[in-house]
Structure 1
Amino acid sequence: MAGNKLNVVPLFQVMTLVVVLMLAEAPDRAEAEASITCEQVTNWLTPCISYGVFGGTVSPECCQGIKDLNAAYYTKDDIRAACSCVQQGAAMIPGIDYDRINNIATLCGTSCPYKVYPSTDCSKVV
């Protein structure tokens, strides 16, 4: 059993890197009017991926990323762009628990202006 868990960690690290690289290179239509980019969102929220997949405790780095993202919202377009980036990124992570990721802001003592699920229409948030 311990051997299986050890094999999951390197695979998870590789998947995290792949998601980060893909989001950094993939422009989103919502970004056209927003000042927030998927690259920024990815940098802020990468520390949250392990909690989103495995649960446990939300790291201080994850909470700081959530707070940094919240501080970067200036317009509805920013919020919609971030929603879209989170949605795209989450869809690329095997085993992501959407209920868990939607609860992170609360666990960090802050809020999030949207809930992300595969069915969320980020163009209509706010």
Structure 2
Amino acid sequence: MSKVVLISVMMACMLISSSYGKATLTCEQVTVWLTPCIPYGTLGGSVLPLCCQGVHSLNAAYKNGDDRRLTCHCVQDRAALIPLIDYTRINQIGDLCGSKCPFKVYPSTDCDKVK
């Protein structure tokens, strides 16, 4: 893994999570589950099995819309910190892992409108 990716992961892990209404998830949980997806999101290649495990764990953990909105904000905020992030690849991960994502993440995504 490149130094840029490692530094980005460390920065993402150090951020303080935000609170969203009745969310049962935390941004830290989302970050832990999705960190294995960063290499694919920046470099392409194959999606790591740990990435797909994280995607499945995240989708199983959603309890309400607040969880989905928190996740959207978290992914959006973390992705903005990662140099060379490819949003097209990021949005392919759910399909590649056989798990639907309830929203698409781009810098312009209005996460407050996620249902």
Do these two structures clear the TM 0.5 threshold for a shared fold by scoring above it? Answer: yes
Cα displacement (A) at 1:9: 1.3
Give the conservation status (yes or no) of the 8 Å contact 2:4–2:83.
Answer: no
Q: Gaps spanning 5+ residues in structure 2: where? A: none
Letter in 1 for 2:10: L
State the distance in 1 between where 2:5 and 2:66 align.
31
Calculate the TM-score normalised by the size of structure 2.
0.94
CA distance in 1, matches of 2:4, 2:87: 20
SS in 2 for 1:109: coil
Question: In 1, distance between residues paired with 2:8 and 2:114?
Answer: 28
**Gapped runs of 5+ residues in structure 1?**
1-7
Aligned sequence identity (%): 53
Work out the number of aligned pairs and report it. 115
Deviation (angstroms), 1:21: 1.6
Query: Does structure 1 residue 28 correspond to structure 2 residue 18?
Result: yes
Tell me what 2:8 maps to: 15
Higher helix share: 1
CA offset digits 1:42-91 (Å, max 9, x no partner): 00000000110000000000000000000000101111111111111001
